[in-house]
A and B are shown apart, each in its own frame.
Chain A
Amino acid sequence: MSTTAWIILWGAVATYLTRIGGHLVLSRFERVHPRVEAALNAVPAAVLTTLVAPAALTAGPVELVALAVAGLMSLRFGMLQLFLVSAAVLIVGRQIFG
């Protein structure tokens, strides 16, 4: 097997460890302290925000409009409609302006 294939397989092992690791560590404790509970409940907002923020900071006007549309649509619609409309705004905007 090639070196590349070995790296891929070890990368897969490392990735699976991250996916199961948090649960394995936490399940060793019988009771979860309320502050740990509060920390875990903050995970979605905390992590997902970091996947958006740097991109939003360097975004141009078209990208910001697409984000604003996504933000407004999130108040009323599901993820599918939100994503399709915002993506259309982005792609059409880029065709026209940039």
Chain B
Amino acid sequence: MSVEATPERTTPATTGSEFLAGAKLGFPVVVASAPFAFLFGALAAKNGISVAEATLMSATIFGGASQMVGIELFGQKIAPWLVVLSIFAVNFRHVLYSASIGRTLSHWTFLHQAIGYFFLTDPQFAEVERKAEKGLPVTFAWYAGMGVTIYVPWVIESGLGAYFGNLIPDPHSIGMDFLLPIYFFGLVMSFRTRANWLPVVIVSGIASIIAYKTVGSPWHVSIGAAAGIALATMLPIRNGQVSRP
């Protein structure tokens, strides 16, 4: 993708510096997601998926949790459409992300938008929201800088994980299962100045825990999010609260 050749007309900063600024934000995500990329590859190999297929999955789906669920189901004898549906269910939260940042990305060209939405992961969404909240321009170069920085290692590490499947150390001792919750908690905290933040966090948290215990994963994400968002629509709207660009 030739990012350098597509400058944004309205940006004060150069395309190159915007790309680097975005890349810098992608770095902690690369660190946080690297163990999962390797683990994904290793588990894929264990479930009889080839190195090429594991790499293809990371390159085309680019969504860690849904890929984990996918390979889990490949290991069992489950109808293909059900596997696709499960991937869709795990990724359903992106519908909300896309609805929200659509307001920020709408000044991009059609092609930039079509490419941009492919790279819409949890951290990418959070950083776009933070930037827009501060009233800063969200350029395609900045967005691509972050997206490509996360994407390329993700794909390569998945392939390496599948190739060197047995070299992965004990996942628990390197904190694997809890690194992403820590990262996401940091992101939750970064939105604490938003209107109704605390009530939304409390209601979403409680609803997702109840749903996790009753309905089960991955539905607790959609159910918990729906509860918090429903609350936000019912709380009184303060003046200027909705002035976000």
Give the chain B neighbours of A15 by CB distance below 8 A: 61-63, 66, 87-88, 91, 94
Name B208's contact: one of A19, A37, A50, A87 (CB within 8 Å). Answer: A50
Interface of B, helix, strand, loop or mixed by DSSP: helix
Q: Contact at A41–B94, with CB atoms within 8 Å?
A: no
B70 nearest CB neighbor, chain A only: A11
Nearest Cβ on chain A to B158's Cβ, whole angstroms:
12
Which B residues between 207 and 237 are near A, CB-CB below 8 angstroms? 207-209, 212, 217, 220-221, 223-233, 235, 237
Q: Contact at B190–A74, with CB atoms within 8 Å?
A: yes
Give the chain B neighbours of A34 by CB distance below 8 A: 237, 242
Answer whether A90 and B61 are a contact pair too, CB < 8 Å, given A42-B200, A50-B220: no
Fill in one digit per residue for B110-139: 1 if any A CB lies within 8 Å of its CB, else 0. 000110011010100110010000000000
Fill in one digit per residue for A22-38: 1 if any B CB lies within 8 Å of its CB, else 0. 11111100001011111
The stretch of B1-9, B159-167, B179-187 that contacts the partner chain: B179-187
B interface residues, how many (CB within 8 angstroms): 99
Q: Contact at A70–B225, with CB atoms within 8 Å?
A: no
Q: Contact at A38–B237, with CB atoms within 8 Å?
A: yes
Which A residues between 1 and 35 are near B, CB-CB below 8 angstroms? 2-12, 14-27, 32, 34-35
Interface contact tally, CB-CB below 8 A: 283
A75 nearest CB neighbor, chain B only: B189
Q: Contact at A91–B98, with CB atoms within 8 Å?
A: no
Q: Which residues of A line the B interface, CB within 8 A? A: 2-12, 14-27, 32, 34-57, 59, 63, 66-67, 70-71, 73-75, 79-80, 82-84, 86-87, 90-91, 94-95
Q: Which residues of B line the A interface, CB within 8 A? A: 25, 27-28, 31-32, 49-50, 53, 56-57, 60-63, 66, 70, 74, 80, 83-85, 87-88, 91-103, 105-106, 113-114, 117-118, 120, 122, 125-126, 129, 172-175, 177-192, 194-197, 200-201, 204-209, 212, 217, 220-221, 223-233, 235, 237, 241-242, 244
